[in-house]
Amino acid sequence: MFVAAFQFMIVYGGSKRVASTTDLIAKLSDSLRGSARFGKSPQSSVSAPAEPTRVLIELGELVQGILDHEFHKDGQDVWGGVQKACGEALLNCGRLFLSSNSSALEHLRNLRRNLEILSGFALPDRVTIHVPEGYAYYAVYPELYAEAAARLTISSHQGFSVIGLRSIGTSLAGLVAAALGASVLPVTLRPTGNPFERRLKISESLEAKLMAGAHQLVYAIVDEGPGLSGSSFRSVCHWLQERGVSRSRVVLFPSHPGEPGPSVSEEHRSQWRGFRKAVVTFEEYFDHQLRRCEDISGGRWRKKLLANSKSWPASFPQQERRKYLFTDGAKTYLAKFSGIGRYGEDKLARANLFAEAGFAPEVMGYHSGFILMRWHEDAVPCGEEIVKRHRESLVVSVGKYLAMIRQQYRSADDLTGASIRELFGMAAANSREKFGNAFDRGLKRIEALIENVAGAVVRTATDNKMHAWEWIRLPGGRFLKTDGLDHHSSHDIVGCQDIAWDIVAAKIELRLTDSEFEKVLAFADPGGPRGNGFSSEKERFFSVTYLAFQMGYFSNAARCMTHDPEEEARLQRTSDRYARRLADRLR
């Protein structure tokens, strides 16, 4: 198992949903018909209407779903009629995204025609859509890739062949191909296998397509990242080099200028450094707007709220959402990245619901992927002292908050998350990574609960972030919950779970007494304490799986922060605290 080999625990899973192919095409067609203005240049796109970005994302998701279906059907990536139609649609969508008012209509018509052609194939009834993480979580804007492509210069006698890596590389491949004026249709690939050693499965037909005229081509490889391993990029580079393509004819389009994580060998790190990169950073592109803001991303928010660094909670900067403070002269506001396209819109609706119910800061608006909300300068995060002094009101706030989540989101159709068996598998793997086989007997006791717990699960869009420091107390005594918008749909393994996951998390994080726990249940479980689905079996199962997940998350984060010994130590201490409590549960 790769986890043990690379000393990383199981944490990540990837968020996805299943959708009707017909519905996706119809929705995309509606977006094309209803768009008021498509023509724009990359530099003007920040304030332009959202239709081009929405269409780019929606088409990318449709194509990714179709091509992944074809991949699984054939056991490899191939080149045929469906793939060619997808490539044409992606390229025309990229041209539409970049077009001026005068040329937008032509590209719009072409894209509509592409959809008609694609609909004529025997497509699957339903496809699995993998959330493009950069659009949803990490402020990866298509404009950054368009600008990076516009700045790239090569010999005039060479053309481009663009390879996008599914998922997010699907939509970005069409955009980069359009921006580069690529001489051949873009191709997308699905690297598979061990996350630290991805491999490609490419048919002879697709190999012939990719290698046609190779001596005159520069290959542009498009994806977000690199992540912990950079192995998706590396798999394509290796495949091309095996076929005689030199490094000088490969350009990588990553989402940031950094290198892969600390688990990467020096050989692979050296290889990464040897390739040319085309990248424009968020800070560079949005420099003018950011001059008015204070960046509190990457844990810097702790300086604003907690003067003593010894009381800071651990932070994993690479996975924090971008956050900025700005003022209008009288008040200070927080701008937090929530996603572009439908991802930002979904979170905006949740933010408004929470704010109107009195559980979250007031929402002031949404702009360019950021939710704008009031910043409470006089708020105090719930450190140990606050939790001790104001327990009764905090317990009531927690209970009412979880009751609202349970009531509002339990009937949604698209709730997905790890199965109960998958949660146990994560807990068992992480426990054995930490403790060896010392607690196998305890794990067997938890495994015996799987069937009963699985039969009683009612999924909801859980908070999944019930740590004490995520609650703030206002001067008047009211508690607000921060960071509750999207961790149920993040790219970790957990996803949407039974509300018992959050109930148990609250008990663990806030160290609730039995009587306090019963009060939370009285709100969050309308049937009364231990009623309406909550059981001692759920409590035992979710306690172990929650602790194992948190132990793994902070352990992995610590291993990625060796360049910052202070934060690394803070993260490791946090992981160790969860490990001790997990051991107590498994004894």
Amino acid, res. 572: Q
pLDDT at 4 over 90: no
How does residue 195 score in pLDDT terms, banded at 50, 70 and 90? confident
Per 3-state DSSP, the chain is made up of helix, strand and coil in percentages (nearest 5) of 50, 15, 35
Question: For the segment 509-535, what is each residue's pLDDT rounded down to a tens digit?
Answer: 999 999 999 999 999 986 544 444 789
Beta strand 250-253 with 276-277: parallel, antiparallel or unpaired? parallel
230 in a structural domain:
yes
Residues 341 and 251 in one domain: no
In angstroms, rounded to a whole number, what is the distance separating the alpha carbons of residues 205 and 54?
Answer: 32
Could you tell me if 365 and 485 lie in one domain?
Answer: no
- Chain segment 468-482, per-residue pLDDT in tens: 999 999 999 999 999
Contacts (Cβ under 8 Å, ≥6 apart) of 85: 114, 117, 118, 121
Query: Is residue 460 in some structural domain?
Result: yes
Average pLDDT score over residue span 561-576: 97
> Is there a single domain that holds both residue 253 and residue 163?
yes
Instruction: Name the phi and psi angles at 192, rounded to 5.
Output: -135, 175
Residue 296 included in any domain:
no
What is the enclosing helix (H) or strand (E) of 252? strand 250-253
In a domain, 322, yes or no: no
Claim to verify: residue 26 and residue 163 sit in the same structural domain:
yes
User: Mean per-residue pLDDT for 263-286?
Assistant: 94
pLDDT at 412 over 70: no
Same domain, 195 and 116: yes
Q: At which of 375, 392, 426 does a domain end?
A: 375
Give yes or no for a contact between 189 and 200, defined as CB atoms under 8 angstroms apart: yes
Domain boundary among 263, 284, 305: 284
Measured from the Cβ of residue 411, the count of other Cβ atoms closer than 10 Å reads 10
Question: Is residue 299 in a domain?
Answer: no
Tens digits of residue pLDDT in 441-497: 999 999 999 999 999 999 999 999 999 999 999 999 999 999 999 999 888 999 999
Last residue of a domain, one of 375, 399, 423: 375
pLDDT value for 50 = 53
Does one domain contain both 368 and 387? no
Number of domains comprising the chain: 3
Do 223 and 238 contact (CB within 8 A), yes or no?
Answer: no
Neighbours of 283 (CB within 10 A): 10
Name the phi and psi angles at 79, rounded to 5: -125, 115
Residue 305 domain-assigned (yes or no): no
Mind listing the pLDDT tens digit for each residue in 208-248? 999 999 999 999 999 999 988 899 999 999 999 999 999 99
User: With pLDDT > 90 as the criterion, what percentage of the chain qualifies?
Assistant: 80
Q: Is residue 142 part of a domain?
A: yes
- Kindly report which listed range (392-396, 409-413, 517-521) carries the lowest average pLDDT score: 409-413
Instruction: Report the range out of 46-50, 294-298, 455-459 with the highest average pLDDT.
Output: 294-298
State the residue range of the domain holding 360: 337-375
Tell me the average pLDDT across 533-551: 95
Note whether 554 and 416 are same-domain residues.
yes
CA distance 381 to 385: 10
Cis before residue 226, ω within 30 degrees of 0? Answer: yes
pLDDT higher than threshold 70 for residue 39: no
Is 498:460 a contact under the CB 8 Å cutoff?
A: yes
Q: Within this chain, do residues 384 and 350 fall inside the same structural domain, yes or no?
A: no
- Strands 332-337 and 159-165, by their bridges, are unpaired
Same domain membership, residue 180 and residue 126: yes
Asked if 327 contacts 316 with a C-beta cutoff of 8 angstroms, the reply is no
Residue 157 has pLDDT above 90, yes or no: no
The phi and psi torsions of 533 (rounded to 5 degrees) equal 110, -30
Residue 409's H or E segment, with its range, is: helix 391-409
244 and 387, same domain (yes or no) = no
Share of the chain above pLDDT 70, in %: 94
Contacts of residue 123, Cβ cutoff 8 Å, sequence gap at least 6: 21, 66, 82
pLDDT in tens, 158-174: 899 999 999 999 999 99
User: 224 and 143 in one domain?
Assistant: yes
Looking at residue 7, what is its pLDDT? Answer: 65
The domain that holds 427 is classified in CATH as 3.90.1200.10
pLDDT tier at 156 (50, 70, 90 boundaries)? low
Q: Please compute the mean of the pLDDT values over residues 80-101 and round it to a whole number.
A: 95
Alpha-carbon span 357 to 234, nearest angstrom: 48
Is 370:336 a contact under the CB 8 Å cutoff?
yes
311 located within any domain: no
- 222 and 362, same structural domain? no
Residue 291: pLDDT over 60: yes
Q: Which residues contact 102 (CB under 8 A, 6 or more apart)?
A: 39
Above 60 in pLDDT, residue 299?
yes
The DSSP output letter for 262 is T
